[in-house]
Amino acid sequence: MPGSLYAAKTRAYLRKQHIIFDEIPVGDPAFRQVMKTVGRFIMPVIEMADGTIVQDNVDIIDHVEASGLAILSAYPATPVQRIISMIFELFGGEGLLRPAMHYRWNFDDQNLGFLRRDFVAALAPGADEERGDAVFANASGLMRKAGSAFGVTPETFHAVEASYARFLGLFNAHLQTVPYLLGGQPTVGDYGLIGPLYAHLARDPAPASLMKATAREVWRWTERMNAPEPALDGFRDRGEDLIADDRIPETLLPLLGFIAEDWLPELAAHTAFANQWLAENPDIPAGTNGLPNPGGRMIGFAPFSWRGHEISTAVMPYRFWMLQRIQDAFAAITPEAQARVRIILDDAGLGDMLSLRTNRRVERRNHLEVWA
């Protein structure tokens, strides 16, 4: 779907690798067979030339990189930049869901006609008006419900907007100094952020107008991320490489502080909830998710305080799997590199991200998240 947050991440990555692909809408009959293979209705899914099916944008990127098809690896070779980029990847896919859902579904005067066309074209290609109305009513109802599961309610609207304005300001300031997060080429951090910042917040009419008016450099970055060429604009004299000596731009530090303030409490609450849930369900067989539906993603709701509000949001083990990847990457680097990472994260208030763990690891098997 053009408006899919997670498909946007994969699409940008494939374009940057100069990989030619056909994009098929999820309403195409061929997708029904894909659903049987992956065990649930979810996107993105790729089918490689040899017939291999890969679901999930992280697995897709890793599969392409392992296949030797990437011309520009998404993973920095140096340890500090690698860890920092993975943190932004996690935050992009999971930490910007509130503004993504709010600005899509709570501005009907500006967005609704655009969204109806987008959703019907993807979910029911060729549908007549009556069927198109029914398809969109069902899909939009489900998505609005999902928005509340991420903490978007009338009581939090102003807080969501204030939070997003703060993020946009910080990211815009950073992009005045470099074309991507860590220099002259995108990393997994950029690919994580492009999901919400393009698919929802730069395409839907209401937030697109906001981004163009208040954060021109972010808007231009969304265009840059969707172009196969580097598109470095005025940064060309700085080269197309990552910043030298494994350094982190000073302008990135306030963004890390924003993640600590705005999203780390939610991640901590979800981890605590999951550990309590695991304690109450000690007999979950390894390789299953412990839910009646093998394709289910949510184990419950965790309460926490956010910007003066008490909210409760959906707990999904996928998020813990992403967090584990960061912690595993940290464990694999030298003690000296670990010390440098710790200094950066501790100064930003993000040190706990290295220690937050569920009592059972999450794995991905057969396209699903399961307990190890």
Beta bridge partners of 47: 53
Quick check: 76 and 188 in contact, CB under 8 A? Answer: no
Is there a cis peptide before residue 44, judged by omega within 30 degrees of 0?
Answer: yes
Sort strands 53-55 and 300-306 into parallel, antiparallel or unpaired: unpaired
Beta bridge partners of 54: 46
Q: For residue 183, what pLDDT band results from cuts at 50, 70 and 90?
A: very high
Residue-averaged pLDDT of the chain: 95
Q: For residue 250, what pLDDT band results from cuts at 50, 70 and 90?
A: very high
C-alpha to C-alpha distance for 82 and 189, rounded to whole angstroms: 9
Quick check: 178 and 81 in contact, CB under 8 A? Answer: no
- Provide the angle, in degrees to the nearest 10, between the axes of the packed helices 205-214 and 108-123: 120
Q: For residue 359, what pLDDT band results from cuts at 50, 70 and 90?
A: very high
C-alpha to C-alpha distance for 337 and 222, rounded to whole angstroms: 31
Check whether 81 has a pLDDT greater than 70: yes
Q: Span 132-147, mean pLDDT?
A: 95
Quick check: 231 and 223 in contact, CB under 8 A? Answer: yes
Q: For residue 237, what pLDDT band results from cuts at 50, 70 and 90?
A: low
C-alpha to C-alpha distance for 78 and 134, rounded to whole angstroms: 51
Q: Span 273-288, mean pLDDT?
A: 97
Quick check: 80 and 340 in contact, CB under 8 A? Answer: yes
Q: How many CB atoms lie within 10 A of CB 228?
A: 13
C-alpha to C-alpha distance for 30 and 360, rounded to whole angstroms: 36
Through-space distance between the first and last CA atoms of the chain, rounded to whole angstroms: 32
Residue 208 structure tokens: 């697109």
pLDDT digits (tens, 9 = 90+) for 298-310: 999 999 999 999 9
Quick check: 53 and 46 in contact, CB under 8 A? Answer: yes
C-beta contacts of 324-329 below 8 A and 24+ residues apart: 324/357, 324/361, 324/362, 325/58, 325/86, 325/90, 326/83, 326/86, 326/87, 326/90, 326/353, 326/354, 327/354, 327/357, 329/82, 329/83, 329/86
pTM beyond cutoff 0.85: yes
Quick check: 259 and 87 in contact, CB under 8 A? Answer: yes
Q: For residue 239, what pLDDT band results from cuts at 50, 70 and 90?
A: low
Check whether 238 has a pLDDT greater than 60: no
Q: For residue 124, what pLDDT band results from cuts at 50, 70 and 90?
A: very high
Which residues, at least 6 apart from 65, have a Cβ–Cβ distance to it below 8 Å?
Answer: 73, 74, 75
Q: Is 128 exposed, middle or buried (0-12, 13-18, 19+ CB in 10 A)?
A: exposed
Range with the poorest average pLDDT among 35-49, 94-108, 146-160, 180-194: 35-49
What pLDDT does 30 receive?
A: 86
CA atoms within 13 A on the CB side of 181: 28
Which one-letter DSSP state was computed for residue 47? Answer: E
Q: How many CB atoms lie within 10 A of CB 331?
A: 9
For residues 133 and 240, which has the higher predicted lDDT (pLDDT)? 133
What pLDDT does 32 receive?
A: 85
The string over 338-371, giving b where at least 16 C-beta atoms fall within 10 Å of a residue's C-beta and e elsewhere, is bebbeebbeebebbebbebebebebeeeebbbbb
